[in-house]
Structures are given as structure tokens and as C-alpha cells.
Structure 1
Amino acid sequence: MSDAHTFGGRPATDPLPVDVSHEPADPATEPDELVAWREPDDDDRPPVRGVSRRRRILLGSALLVSLVAAGGLGTAGWRVADQKDARLETPAQVAGLVRDDSERARSTADYLRSGFVADIDVDRSIGAVYTDPADVRRTVLLFGGTTLLWRPEHDLDTLFELMSDEGGAVTGIREVPSGELGGTMKCGTTSADDGDLTVCGWADHGSVALGMFPGRDVTEAANLLREIRESIQTRD
């Protein structure tokens, strides 16, 4: 047998050497998971949608309502603090009128004051009858009290209802200017034995009072009550 043939199943000559040197891989041929992560370009990002005009308007409206509400609460709080510590006096003379200290006048004032405090809880109450030196038929009856009132207008309306329960209904009740001391002032009329009787009252966060003005119309009675109030009401 020739030497060129195998001996025992092995090749007669050595095989060619295997090249085990490492060649750099072509990135284009590597699997996707081996490719390095790349920051997306601006063109790759999805477009950002802006806030719609309708949403801007709704948001602005909500902010405005919140701002107005906060301002309203601040104003109301300041008004309560400014008016709550009120005092009422019944001087011997006020607005050209003279206090009547007769027994009959005192009894009338006490009767009105007692009915008042039975319906409205106050810290201090007053009651007085004032006569007009120019005309005794134009006597003024005044009663009221001082305390912290959270709903002044409601308490004033309660006083008018009290007057309606005690006598004829007070009708034509309407708001009138309250003057420099603020609060709420209203006037109406009721029937009396000698004609119509004007009833006016005021209320703020520290006081509430009602006056009866025979022989005077609403305009004259309201003007007189404002003058009386500015003379008898003070605040700490």
C-alpha cells in the first residue's frame, strides 16, 4: 500500500492549522439586541399636544372664582371684626328729642324691650321713649340691644315679625340707606289707632334696634333714625 494512504484510519499528513484569531464583527450583521441604545432624535419623539383654548378659559375662570371667593371671605371677616363690639346708650337728649322718664313711658319701654329680648338673645338691651318738644304726638319709641350677630339682616327681619305678632302686620318693608355706621336698615308701615305708624330698624354685626315713629313718613323716619343711631351707637 502506498504511503499516501491512511494508516489505521488517520490521515497520512497533518491537517492545515485552524485560524483562531479574532476579527472585529460587522455591526450591521450583529443581532438587534446587541446594538447599542441610541437617544431618539427630535423627529422620533411623538408630538406634544398643547393645552386647548377651552381648557385655558375654564382653568382661568376657576382661578378667578377662587380668588373672588377668598376676597369675599376676607371682606366679610373684616366687617364682622369692625362692627362686633358695639355699645348703645339712651342719652337724655338726642337728635332734638328729649327722653321721657315718666312712669308710663318707662313701662312702655320696658314692655317693648322685654318682648325684644324674648326673641333675640343679646348681651345688653335698651328701651326708651323720646318726645318731640315741637309736637308731643310725634313721640319716638326705641328698643334694641348689642351682641355678636352673624346674620344681621335675618335678626332685623325677626324684629319686624315680632312687631307684626304684637300688633298689625308691618307692610311695605324696604331697605333704606344705613349711613356711615353701615349694616342694614329697613323701614315699613303698620296701622295704629290714630293712623299709620312708620317702623324703622337697623342691624349690623354688633347691634340691632327698632324704632316706631308716629306722625312721620318713611323718608323722615329713616333720616331721624340714622341721626339717632349715630348719636347713641359707639364701637370699641
Structure 2
Amino acid sequence: MSQPGDPYPNQPQQPYGEQPAPQQGGGHPPAGQPYGAPGAAPLPPAPKKSKTGKIVLIVLAVVLVLCCGGGAITWFAVKDDVSDAVEATNTRVTAPATLAGRPKATQPELQAAVDTMIAQMKSTVQNETSTAGAFYGDMAKKNLVMIAAASGLLADPKKELDAAFTSTDLTMSNVAAVDPGPLGGEARCGDSESEGTKLGICAWADKGSLGMIVMYFKTGAQAKAEFVTMRGQIEQRS
């Protein structure tokens, strides 16, 4: 029965000393129990740490190998063989839309690394006629490939290839000469590792270009199997 002055005259009254039954869907939790428990949705798992930072570090190491080579690279006009000079002059490198069936990767972090790579090649290589850098494939599927190349009139391809594979920025093993393909010159492939990631690396040098192909999570033998195809899509002669 309601009493005069009762603010809720139509609500049933609880006997003195009894506590009202808890209401569904609201109210404060019992003392010591966090809000939302029990029955609360679990917290989402912490996001996996991206490997992109590691990939970028490897990019910088590879660019140092390719472009600096101990500071040995010098591009200048070839004077001793006219045919070589003409062929070299007509050589260009490019980053194709796809590489051996892999689409070009477009993640912002990887593109930023490519921009850094190309800027460093342009500032280091003297008198280059073209540069190329790109990533292809899918990092999540462990099918990522990086290319870095420059064209120009190169006096001593063997010397530059030696410098690329003896740089201290990447430790190479199992390095061996491989078939350079129809474009000629010299080529080698080998194994490396950086930041705990396995790398299969192939590089080529001829009178008109120097380039490197890096297959992440692969061996040098696996890189060798696709090297000629990839080089033929990167290096072009008119």
C-alpha cells in the first residue's frame, strides 16, 4: 500500500529489510566483479606484429650492396668496343606491372622503401640512364620478390658483380655463377639471411646494366630457377 508522499505510488513495495531482485540487462556488478562479466564479449586478440619493418631494413641493406659495393661502382662511356657501347647505350631497366606472374605490391610501407631505394641509386650511381625498383608478390604468403637495377655504360661488369657479392652489408654463401640468359653478361646466385629472414639473391652485370633480384623466404637455388625469366622482364634493349 502506498504512503502519502511516496514518489512511486503504483510500484509494489518491498518489505523492510529485503533487497530488490537484480534487474536483467543493467545495474552495477557485484562488488569485486568487473563490468561486463560474466557473459561479456572477450577482448579481441592483439594484432600480429607486421613484418614490413624487417622487409624495409633488408631493402636498405640490399641497396647498399647494389649501389655502393664498397664504393666501387663507376659508370662511364665504354671506349674500347664500339659494339658494346652501342648495346649498352640502348639498354634500359624497368619495373614491369607483373614479374614472373606476381603482381606489383602496393603497400604504402613497401612503396616508401622503393622510393628510398631509387633515390639512393640515383644519388650513388654516376651517369645512369634508368633505374628500377619494386616489390612483387605477397609477403603473407611468403612469396615476396624485390628488384633493384640501374642502366648505364659500365666499364667492368665483372668487377661490379664481384663488389656486389663481397659487400659486408649482407653475408652471402653458396654463391655460384649461373646462366645469365640471352641478355648475356655475368650472373650469380647465392644464399643470404637478414633479420632472421632467408633470402635467395641473384645479380647480373653487363656493359649496360647492373641488377639484383631478391626472393624473400627462399634459397638461392629457388631464385636461380626464375632468374632468367625475371631478368628478361626487367632489362630491355632497343
TM exceeding 0.5: yes
The code of the aligned residue for 1:112 comes to M
Q: 2:159 aligns with which of 154, 157, 176?
A: 154
Q: How does 1:179-190 map to 2 (within 5 A)?
A: 179-190=181-192
Shift of 1:79: 3.9
| In 2, Cα distance between equivalents of 1:102 and 1:200 | 24
| 1:110-129 CA distance string (max 9 Å, x none) | 33334444543223211101
| In 2, Cα distance between equivalents of 1:110 and 1:157 | 26
TM-score (norm 2): 0.59
CA contact under 8 A between 1:137 and 1:214: conserved in structure 2? yes
CA contact under 8 A between 1:120 and 1:155: conserved in structure 2? no
| In 1, Cα distance between equivalents of 2:225 and 2:82 | 29
CA contact under 8 A between 1:90 and 1:126: conserved in structure 2? yes
Counterpart for residue 129 of structure 1: 135
Q: Secondary structure at the match of 1:136?
A: coil
Shift of 1:218: 1.9
CA contact under 8 A between 2:153 and 2:208: conserved in structure 1? yes
| In 1, Cα distance between equivalents of 2:181 and 2:85 | 17
Shift of 1:158: 2.8
Compare relative contact order (CA 8 Å, sep 6+) and give the higher one, 1 or 2: 2
- The answer for unaligned runs of 5 or more in structure 1 is 1-74
Q: How many residues align?
A: 158
Question: Which structure's CA Rg is the greater one?
Answer: 1
Counterpart for residue 226 of structure 1: 228
Identity, % of aligned positions: 23
Shift of 1:153: 1.8
| 1:54-95 CA distance string (max 9 Å, x none) | xxxxxxxxxxxxxxxxxxxxx955344334421112121121
Residues 83 and 185 of structure 1, relative CA distance in 2, 3 Å threshold:
same
| In 2, Cα distance between equivalents of 1:115 and 1:161 | 20
Q: Secondary structure at the match of 1:149?
A: coil
Q: 1:120 aligns with which of 105, 125, 135?
A: 125
| In 2, Cα distance between equivalents of 1:178 and 1:221 | 13
| In 2, Cα distance between equivalents of 1:193 and 1:172 | 19
Residues 204 and 186 of structure 1, relative CA distance in 2, 3 Å threshold:
same
Counterpart for residue 93 of structure 1: 98
| In 2, Cα distance between equivalents of 1:80 and 1:228 | 24
| In 2, Cα distance between equivalents of 1:112 and 1:158 | 18
1:201 to 2:212 alignment: no
- The answer for unaligned runs of 5 or more in structure 2 is 1-79
Counterpart for residue 103 of structure 1: 108
| 1:190-209 CA distance string (max 9 Å, x none) | 22234431111111111111
CA contact under 8 A between 1:190 and 1:196: conserved in structure 2? yes
| In 2, Cα distance between equivalents of 1:214 and 1:171 | 15
TM-score (norm 1): 0.59
Residues 171 and 216 of structure 1, relative CA distance in 2, 3 Å threshold:
same
Residues 156 and 84 of structure 1, relative CA distance in 2, 3 Å threshold:
farther
The code of the aligned residue for 2:185 comes to G
1:138 to 2:140 alignment: no
> Higher helix fraction: Structure 1 or Structure 2?
1
